[in-house]
Chains A and B, each alone.
Chain A
Amino acid sequence: MKVRIDSERCQGHGRCYDLAPELFGEDDEGYGHVLGDGAVPPDGERTARLAVSNCPERAIEIL
């Protein structure tokens, strides 16, 4: 599993890096970005789904 943020949609609500700090971080302006290549370890799949289902802008995709 991999995660991706659509930067056109992201508005920096930060739900992703609040809920899944091992997968997402914030840039200097508070927008979310994926850490590393966005690969999700098997034990991180639940948190990845949690981030997806709490992003108000529906900006996170699971690939």
Chain B
Amino acid sequence: MTVDERFSRDLRETLKDRPLGVRNEIVTGPVSDWAADFSHTEPEWAADPYPIQDELRQRCPIAHTERFGGGWLPTRYEDVAAVAYDTERFSSRAIIMSNFRPPREIAPIGGAPPISSDPPFHHHARKLLLPAFTKAAVARREAATRAFCHSLIDSFAGRDVVDAAHDYAQHIPMRVIADMLGFPPEDGPRFREFVENALEGVNSPPEERVARMEKLFDYLYAQIRDHVDNPRDDLTTYLINVELGGHKLSPEHVAGTMGLLLIAGVDTTWSAIGASLWHLAKTPADRARLVAEPGLLPTAMEEFLRAYAPVTMARLVKEDMRWNGVDMKADDWVLLSFPAANRDPAQFDRADEVVIDREVNRHAAFGLGIHRCVGSHLARMELRVALEVWLERIPDFGLADPAAVTWSTGQVRGPRTLPVRIG
């Protein structure tokens, strides 16, 4: 057996070599004016961001904040699309709006290719992943996903109230991505911790965040070494062996992409399944209609993705510039709210209503342009199967306690506690 030298170095050394970035003072607490002091990490935003975004779209369509070292929030579809398409002036070298800006030298690759990459490198890093995530490729996982959803519902036997987010939605993407990467299925609870920390912990002290990132790295490197010793037919072995421009990938690229698939694949899909079940639990007419007309589900699902789009991204401004009437500075954040774009009345009729048979639905829940979600076909399969199985097995359900529902904070939004009455 040959040793793969790339992964024999101590990973902490790899991390120590990384260039320094820039930190700013952490500002938390109630927002004074959403147009001049917005924050996506305050409880008011987590509870219900839509009225805030709707009001901003009318009053100040490109809002500003001094928090997070300075940033902007466009709420019109047109502006969100323009930023997503303009990879010349907006960089993806950081995509989580936090209090830390990674150094410019990490572009165009970034810490977690391809989501953190800019052209021209982005194209190559993305191309490596596409074949494993086509509609045809993910269809092969449908039967196993369906059986797993049934087993989750079997485990509800004898209970009148279950937590649809915690006991159902959460487990589905965790199991699917663990299978694809070839990680032990029982490690699910550990992924949840990594994911929550990465996306929800943006205002925690830097030492804590770095320590948590190192824990994730330790886990990924342990999995990589195990796959180097015991290659198998999964994405981890694929990433270890695949070549880009005649060379195998750097250890940071392999680990970064694995970390990305883990983080991007779990919280997002969990949120989409949870938000859809939340809507159906509180809207008996829509629930009854989908039970009666299961063929409408694919259309309804796109509407849930539009109205409750779980993912907001971020970009960093490359150079000082005047952009659509505001003065942006180099390294300002732009919070790229696909959820706000999806509720712009200039783009959608009855934008603030959930219309489950909406036929024209050019929503942007999976992004626009070159970073279109690589996992969108997988996520759609998981969401459809999760809802089909739930509606088949539990056609009659409702919110057990509307006040007990809680939502995640930060850039991925979905229910985290969702007690529903099923019996």
Contacts and interface: CB of A to CB of B under 8 A. Distances in A.
Interface string A1-45: 000000000011110011000000010111000000000000000
Contact of B131 (A29, A56, A57, A58): A29
A4 B135 CA distance: 21
Given A18-B135, A54-B361, 10 more contacts: A11-B368, A14-B135, A29-B127, A29-B130, A29-B134, A30-B130, A30-B377, A53-B359, A56-B372, A57-B372
Contact of B363 (A26, A29, A56, A58): A56
Q: A-B pairs with the 8 shortest C-beta distances? A: A29-B130, A11-B372, A30-B134, A53-B360, A56-B362, A30-B130, A14-B135, A28-B131
A12 B372 contact: yes
B368 A57 contact: yes
Contacts of B359: 50, 53
Contacts, number: 50
A31 to B, nearest CB: 8
A57 B360 CA distance: 13
Contacts of B43: none
Contact of B298 (A12, A18, A30): A18
Contacts of B31: none
Contacts of B369: 11, 57
Interface of B: 127, 130-131, 133-136, 298, 302, 359-364, 366, 368-370, 372, 376-377, 380
Contacts of A17: 135
A18 B377 CA distance: 10
Interface of A: 11-14, 17-18, 26, 28-30, 50, 53-58
B134 A53 contact: no
Given A14-B377, A26-B135, A56 B127 contact: no
Contacts of B136: 26
Contacts of B361: 54
Nearest to A31: B130
Contacts of A14: 135, 376-377
Contacts of A57: 368-369, 372
Nearest to B376: A13
B382 to A, nearest CB: 15
A55 B364 CA distance: 10
A50 B299 CA distance: 11
Contacts of B360: 53-54
Contacts of A58: 362
A18 B361 CA distance: 13
A58 to B, nearest CB: 8
Contacts of A29: 127, 130-131, 134
Contacts of A56: 362-364, 366, 368, 372
A56 to B, nearest CB: 5
Nearest to B136: A26
B134 A28 contact: yes
Contacts of B376: 13-14
Nearest to B129: A29
B370 A11 contact: yes
A30 B366 contact: no
A53 B362 contact: yes
Contact of B135 (A11, A30, A50): A30
A13 B366 contact: yes
B133 A30 contact: yes
10 contacts: A11-B369, A11-B370, A13-B376, A30-B377, A50-B359, A53-B360, A56-B364, A57-B368, A57-B369, A58-B362
